[in-house]
Amino acid sequence: MSKFLSTLQQDISEPHLASLVCAILDITAVIAERVSHGALGDTLGATTQENVQGEVQKNLDVIANDLLVSTLLSHSAVRAIASEEEQHTVAGTAGAPYIVAFDPLDGSNNIDINAQIGTIFTILKARDDVPDASDEQFFQTGSQQVCAGYVLYGPYTTLVITTGKRVHEATLDRSAEEFILSKSPVVLPAGVRDFSANMANLFYWAPKMQQYMTSLIQPAPASERFNMRWQGAMVGDVHRILTRGGAFIYPSDSKDPAQPAKLRLLYEAFPMAMLVEAAGGCGYSETQPLLEMTLTSLHQRTPVFLGDKKLVEDCFKAAS
């Protein structure tokens, strides 16, 4: 395996962006270390607080968020940040070229059971037409992302990252405290009959979506059967799709009419769609390609279909 940064620099020629990406990698390595301590590191359990989403914050949510916020706000290339754990945009260095949005710890319900969790991030160019601390800094389309990635804290720590040209995968070498390139380019396998969906929501989906999803699990010859996997964390489920193929399926549902969609557009759907498309797949909401959507609210939610082009297009037809 070759050194990762030398490969990444082939895709990132702008020095401020390269420095920013390195800072993100360094702090996620610290988060990986904190995650690995488990019950020995006073990181398990929940706080008594809720985040802006109305979700009870886990101790590790707060730790990861604080580490990322501190690192990014002190970086000279960051004009503003947005986090799942922060209600509004937070200003950084005035006049800096980039803004960063992130989910500090996706899948935090998995923390206490030692299942998959991860950090998702996206980098965009800062806007000069709105104040630095305005949420409108992030009111851009998904296609305007300049870099996106995630770090999966599993049995080993994996980074998957793209600038839109190609997707790289790197593995954290804990002894050297650096990421080492392990796969490049990452190409999403086509024609794999796998899907990731929470089938417990089946009867809360629209009738056409129910019919389509039911058709995937009907008895069939072995060569035509679909396999289902669901890990309860977008970062883990999408990583499986990128690695093994298939589709990640998260439609809107009727459980809470005030909140029909769950996943956040800015720091979950946008970066994952950028990664999947750069790997040869595609990403849709129930109305249009995810990367064509424009953010209109910082914590805006959206249905998400990601992965194999044919499967995702079939999902889109069933949902639209």
Q: Model confidence over 15-38: pLDDT tens digits?
A: 999 999 999 999 999 999 999 887
Beta bridge partners of 80: 91, 99
3-state class percentages of the chain: helix first, strand second, coil last, to nearest 5: 35, 25, 35
pLDDT of 1 > 50? The answer is no
- Which carries the bigger pLDDT value, residue 250 or residue 178? 250
DSSP state of 116: -
Judge contact between 38 and 53, C-beta under 8 A.
no
Return binding residues for Mg(2+).
84, 103, 105-106, 268
Q: Cβ contacts of residue 242 below 8 Å, gap of 6+?
A: 160, 167, 186, 188, 275, 276, 279, 281
Query: Which of 314, 317, 158, 163 lies closest to 242, judged by CA?
Result: 158
Summarised one tens digit per residue, pLDDT across range 101-153 is 999 999 988 888 889 999 999 999 999 999 999 999 999 999 999 999 999 99
pLDDT number for residue 6: 82
Cα of 61 vs its chain's centroid, Å: 15
Coil, helix or strand for 155? coil
d(C-alpha 83, C-alpha 122), whole Å: 11
pLDDT number for residue 2: 53
Return binding residues for substrate.
198, 262
pLDDT number for residue 175: 87
Beta bridge partners of 305: 249, 284
| Percent of the chain predicted with pLDDT > 90 | 82
Per-residue pLDDT band for 40 (boundaries 50, 70, 90) equals low
Return binding residues.
84, 103, 105-106, 198, 262, 268
pLDDT of 55 > 80? The answer is no
Summarised one tens digit per residue, pLDDT across range 174-227 is 888 899 999 999 999 999 999 999 999 999 999 999 999 999 999 988 888 899
Which tokens go with 159? 């980074």
pLDDT number for residue 202: 97
pLDDT of 44 > 90? The answer is no
pTM of the model: 0.94
CA distances, 2 to each of 7, 69, 312 (Å) = 8, 30, 34
Judge contact between 227 and 196, C-beta under 8 A.
no
